[in-house]
């Protein structure tokens, strides 16, 4: 994922956190920002940011001390393997259209999606990702506990 405009920059010191804690905070920051971007019609940036939130959330879950023993052989560098392992373990209910989302992410990364599109219906994406975030324990969270967002980042 390109670093430019990612909402966690300047808001977290990963050297003072475990990898799981850092991924959890990153997931929350990116979820908040990604949803805002999507609702503003910033389609490409919103999709990329929500993807990073989901990927960070899955990594946070499998790396947490409470869960790591169950997923020690899962490749955390592969979002598809993470997703499959979490579905297989019964953590995720597999109702989210993960393959559809992966295709949308690929389009965004290959610049096949428009930068702005106020007509594209992202309801399925926001609803689905929020469902996964709840299943992974990322949601709910108190937004006041997060650093203030700078919408000017993008």
- Residue 93 near residue 135 (C-beta atoms within 8 A): yes
Q: What is the pLDDT of residue 151?
A: 60
Q: What is the pLDDT of residue 70?
A: 94
pTM: 0.85
Distance CA 18, CA 66 (A): 13
- Residue 133 near residue 27 (C-beta atoms within 8 A): yes
Q: What is the pLDDT of residue 150?
A: 62
Give the chain's domains with CATH numbers.
Answer: 17-138 (1.20.120)
pLDDT per position as a tens digit, 29-39: 999 999 999 99
Residue 153 pLDDT level (bands cut at 50, 70, 90):
low
Q: What is the pLDDT of residue 2?
A: 38
**5 pLDDT higher than 70:** no
pLDDT per position as a tens digit, 89-145: 999 999 999 999 999 999 988 888 888 888 888 999 999 999 999 999 999 887 777
More confident position, 30 or 8: 30
Question: What is the 3-state secondary structure of the chain?
Answer: CCCCCCCCCCCCCHHHCCHHHHHHHHHHHHHHHHHHHHHCCCHHHHHHHHHHHHHHHHHHHHHCCCCHHHCCCCCCCCHHHHHHHHHHCCCCCCCCCHHHHHHHHHHHHCCCCCCCCCCCCCHHHHHHHHHHHHHCCCCCCCHHHCCCCCHHHC
Q: Please report where in the chains the tokens 């393997």 appear, as a residue.
A: 81
- Residue 21 near residue 72 (C-beta atoms within 8 A): no
pLDDT per position as a tens digit, 26-79: 999 999 999 999 999 999 999 999 999 999 999 999 999 999 999 999 999 999
């Amino acid at each position: 994922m390109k670093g430019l405009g990612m909402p966690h920059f300047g808001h977290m010191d990963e050297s003072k956190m475990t990898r799981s804690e850092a991924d959890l905070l990153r997931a929350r920051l990116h979820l908040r920002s990604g949803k805002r971007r999507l609702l503003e019609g910033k389609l490409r940036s919103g999709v990329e940011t929500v993807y990073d939130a989901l990927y960070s959330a899955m990594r946070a879950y499998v790396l947490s001390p409470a869960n790591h023993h169950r997923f020690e052989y899962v490749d955390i560098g592969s979002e598809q393997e993470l997703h499959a392992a979490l579905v297989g373990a019964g953590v995720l209910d597999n109702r989210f259209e993960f393959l559809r989302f992966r295709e949308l992410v690929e389009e965004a990364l290959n610049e096949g999606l428009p930068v702005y599109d106020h007509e594209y219906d992202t309801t399925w994406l926001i609803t689905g990702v929020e469902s996964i975030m709840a299943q992974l324990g990322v949601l709910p969270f108190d937004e006041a506990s997060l650093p203030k967002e700078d919408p000017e980042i993008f």
